[in-house]
Amino acid sequence: MSIDIDTARRVAKLARIRVDEADLPRLAGQLSGILTFMEQLNEVDVTGVEPMTSVTPMRLKRRADVVTDGNIQAQVLANAPDAREGFFAVPKVVE
Amino acid sequence: MTNVPANANELTIAQARDALRAGDLTAVDLTMACLTAIDAGDTLNAFVHKTPEIALDQARAADARLAAGGAPDLCGIPLGIKDLFCTRGVPSQAASNILRGFRPEYESTVTRRLFEAGAVMLGKLNMDEFAMGSSNETSCYGNAVNPWRIDDRLLTPGGSSGGSAAAVAADLCLGATGTDTGGSIRQPAAFAGITGIKPTYGRVSRWGIVAFASSLDQAGPMAKSVRDCAILLQAMAGHDPMDSTSADIPVPDFEAALTGDIRGKVIGIPREYRMDGMPAEIEALWHRGAEMLRDAGAILRDISLPHTKYALPAYYVIAPAEASSNLARYDGVRYGHRAKLAQGDGIIEMYEKTRAEGFGPEVQRRVMVGTYVLSAGFYDAYYNRARKVRALIKRDFETVFAEGVDAILTPATPSAAFGLGEMANADPVQMYLNDVFTVTVNLAGLPAIAVPAGLDGQGLPLGLQLIGRPWAEADLLNHAHVLERASGFVARPAKWW
């Protein structure tokens, strides 16, 4: 599978990573190399094999559906690049 | 005090524990010795955030606890903490610019357990960015340097836990935490001539450890001996309600398991690990390691793990897929870096610019690979197929364990440490090949340990890997203990830094 420049641009967009147009050919080449490496997986007969979801068979623990923490607004916001009046602040989303 | 060692930082954890309890050494003196060594070791770039005030406070508290009697094994033992662990109030950046300035409001379960056991934190250790790398060259802090050197070149300490390996090998700390997603404890341990164990998935809580690939990540100790790893793992392991994948099963006494008796144990030698182009020295070391275990009474058995060759490609689908999901949280909103925005930039530009500035090239590459294999139309072809192959890789191990194999012996790495920068122009896949012997274990969720077993012709350490049954870390440590004693590896890097 070869990744062309359009696909590289689309993947960068999906990943929300800005990539300069000039860097797209190199990126496409590297992604193609990695995907070619992955193509080896096509040699394996996986008929009837279930995809692994958990490496250790275990039922996730359950607990009562109750609030166990909270009231730590200052701590939650402490590392925010921009926090105002108890909220995370971001550029305007709706025009 | 008459029995104070001249360079207390060179002690093992077991030796320091005994000296502290006997009153031959104080935690403050031991900590000072490490802090001095750290300052003298800046060339190695192992410690990237030093925390001397915290260390001395903890050391004073440890001395009081030791004086009161009944202190735990780790009381007063100075450790380095990989930058991937969140430590309250102390920079925890995962070696990424995107987390510059981040000071967690909480403590990871592993570090909390270590500190409750009296351990002393000397600082945070260098690593590959988000643990993605095998040479510590993707770090935002610059390269960590291996204390082992044979000529003018600076060598990699391996990765991603490169700072941990360098710090322990250079006696800057008595032990360190590492994490292992595809070999990130075992490969650097082998490159630096120290010991490191990746526990069974679920043995150690992942809570508060910056996530890379959640189904593969597992934290473990890196130290100067198997015994030290046993002591550290004891404190790190155990059920944690904060991590839903943490196993609620008893933790055995790991140090007590080091009996040296492995008579009758069956050691599997997997033929698929005999790779084309593997250096003859590594093949010979592997053979010697097997003989050592046989001489100690173990039974060697040739085994087959037929899907071994597909482990790396499966890993490089699954790990980036999980990473692309885990790293979606770095968006410039809640913590870390936010790009400077131009007039009129909206929230999408904020995400894209922040992530382009904050993530290094390898992390960007893996996030995009992960995005691609999870995207509509490719999910089945790549991600689901890789998860099926993963099931087959796990089945390979289950089959040999069901046939009576107790542990599996392999080389730890396909080469000794290489020079920093030597892989700069290589294809990314070339670097991935470093994980060829270690990555199967993460896919199968098994415990495995790297033990230094000899020097190559140039004088660089080489390691062997032992892989154990699920939850059999105690036996695994005992096997490693036998290998450690038989190989008699005592070489240390000559101090040049």
Segment B3-15 shows an average pLDDT of 86
What local confidence, expressed as pLDDT, does residue B127 receive? 98
Q: What's the order of all strands across the beta sheet hosting B407-411?
A: B47-50, B120-125, B78-82, B175-180, B218-223, B195-198, B448-455, B461-468, B407-411, B266-270, B299-303
Interface probe for B, chosen from A16, A20, A49 (most Cβ of B below 10 Å), is A16
Whether pTM exceeds 0.90: yes
What local confidence, expressed as pLDDT, does residue B3 receive? 53
- Tell me the three state secondary structure of residue B252: coil
B388 vs A38: CB contact, 8 Å cut-off?
A: no
Of B108, B135, B160, B324, catalytic: B160
pLDDT band (50, 70, 90) for residue B366: very high
Interface probe for B, chosen from A42, A55, A66, A76 (most Cβ of B below 10 Å), is A55
pLDDT over threshold 70, residue B119: yes
B263 touches chain A (CB under 8 A): no
Instruction: Find all residues with CB under 8 Å of B131, minimum gap 6, and list them.
Output: B84, B94, B160, B161, B179, B181, B184, B210, B212, B217
pLDDT band (50, 70, 90) for residue B432: confident
pLDDT over threshold 90, residue A14: yes
What local confidence, expressed as pLDDT, does residue B384 receive? 96
- Tell me the three state secondary structure of residue B374: helix
What local confidence, expressed as pLDDT, does residue B321 receive? 98
A84 touches chain B (CB under 8 A): no
B160 is catalytic: yes
The fraction of chain B above a pLDDT of 70, given in percent, is 99
Radius of gyration of chain B (CA): 22
What local confidence, expressed as pLDDT, does residue A1 receive? 61
**Distance from B330 to chain A by nearest Cα, in Å?**
10
The total domain count for chain B is 1
pLDDT over threshold 90, residue B242: yes
pLDDT band (50, 70, 90) for residue B92: very high
What local confidence, expressed as pLDDT, does residue B382 receive? 95
Distance CA B51, CA B64 (A): 20
What local confidence, expressed as pLDDT, does residue B4 receive? 55
The fraction of chain B above a pLDDT of 90, given in percent, is 95
What local confidence, expressed as pLDDT, does residue A81 receive? 97
B392 contact residues in A (CB cutoff 8 A): 44, 46, 49
Chain B: residue whose CA lies nearest to A55: B445
pLDDT over threshold 60, residue B53: yes
Domain that holds residue B191: 1-497
pLDDT over threshold 60, residue B1: no
Segment B319-330 shows an average pLDDT of 98
B134 is catalytic: no
Tens digit of each residue's pLDDT (9 = 90 or more) over A34-87: 999 999 999 999 999 999 988 887 788 888 999 988 999 999 999 999 999 999
Tens digit of each residue's pLDDT (9 = 90 or more) over B331-362: 999 999 999 999 999 999 999 999 999 999 99
B96 is catalytic: no
A71 contact residues in B (CB cutoff 8 A): none
CB contacts under 8 A, B 347-376 vs A, are 347-353, 355-356, 359, 364-365, 367-369, 371-373, 375
Q: Which CATH number fits the domain that encloses residue B452?
A: 3.90.1300.10
pLDDT over threshold 60, residue B2: no
- Of B202, B201, B178, B205, nearest to B189 (Cα)? B178
Tens digit of each residue's pLDDT (9 = 90 or more) over B143-200: 999 999 999 999 999 999 999 999 999 999 999 999 999 999 999 999 999 999 999 9
Q: Which two tokens stand for residue B232?
A: 């550290």
- The answer, yes or no, to whether the previous bond of B487 is cis (omega within 30 of 0) is no
Helices marked H in chain A: 5-14, 24-38, 73-77
Phi and psi of B189, rounded to 5°?
Answer: -60, -45
